[in-house]
Amino acid sequence: MAHKFSPEHIARLLSDERKKAVDPEKVLRDAGLKEGDFFADIGSGPGFFTIPASKIVGIRGVAFAIDTQKEMLLDLRDRNPPDNIVLLLSEEDNIPIGDSETDFALLAYMLHETVNMDAFLKEVRRVVRPGGTVLVIDWKKQKEEHGPPEEERLTEGAVTGLLEGAGLSVESVSALNPSHYRILAKKV
C-alpha cells in the first residue's frame, strides 16, 4: 500500500515555506490554465493549488477540489473558498466527474502515493477533454530531509512512461525547483 500524506500535517501543505518553494498561481498560468477553464485538482489536499486556480479560471470557470481524504476537503471548506470551487470526495480510480469534463487536470505531489498508477492515470485521461492538459508535479527521486522517502519517489522517466501508457502525450519535462519536477502532457 502506498503511503498517503497524513491529514494531521495539513498546516505543512499551506505553509509560507511551501509558498516560497512553489508559486501555485505562476505554475498554473505557465502551464496554460486560463479564464473559463474547468480545472480538476486531483489530490487537492486543502487547496494549495485549488484556490489560486479558482482565481485564474474566474466566474466562468470551475475549480474541482478532488481528494480521497475527507479531512482535506473539510479543511478547505472551513476556510470559506470562492464560489467557483466544487469539493468532491473521490476514490483513487473513480473520479466523480463526467467524461471529458475538464480542460486541465493537476496531479501535484500525489502520483507517488497512488496504489494503481495505470488505472488512476486512465481515469484522469477519461475526465480530461481531447486537447486538454495534464500537469504532474512531484518529488525528484533523491534523498532529502523533507518530503517522502527516496524509495517512494518516481523518476521523471517513470512518470513519462506511465503518462504515455495511459494515452497521454508528454509535451515537456522540466525542473520546478531543486526538489520538484513538472511534466506537462496533453490528451490526444
Pairing between strand 102-108 and 128-139?
parallel
What are the angstrom distances between the C-alpha of 134 and each of 18, 143, 144?
22, 27, 26
Q: Which residues of the chain have pLDDT under 50?
A: 1
Q: Which residues contact 11 (CB under 8 A, 6 or more apart)?
A: none
> What domains does the chain contain, in order, with CATH numbers?
7-187 (3.40.50.150)
The DSSP 8-state label assigned to residue 146 in this structure reads S
Task: Check: CB of residue 126 under 8 Å from CB of residue 99.
Answer: yes
CA 184 to chain centre: 12
pLDDT of residue 1: 42
Cut 0.85: pTM above it: yes
Task: Extract the runs of DSSP E, i.e. beta strands, from the chain.
Answer: 38-42, 62-67, 85-89, 102-108, 128-139, 168-175, 180-187
pLDDT of residue 147: 85
And the C-alpha cell for 101? 469534463
pLDDT of residue 182: 97
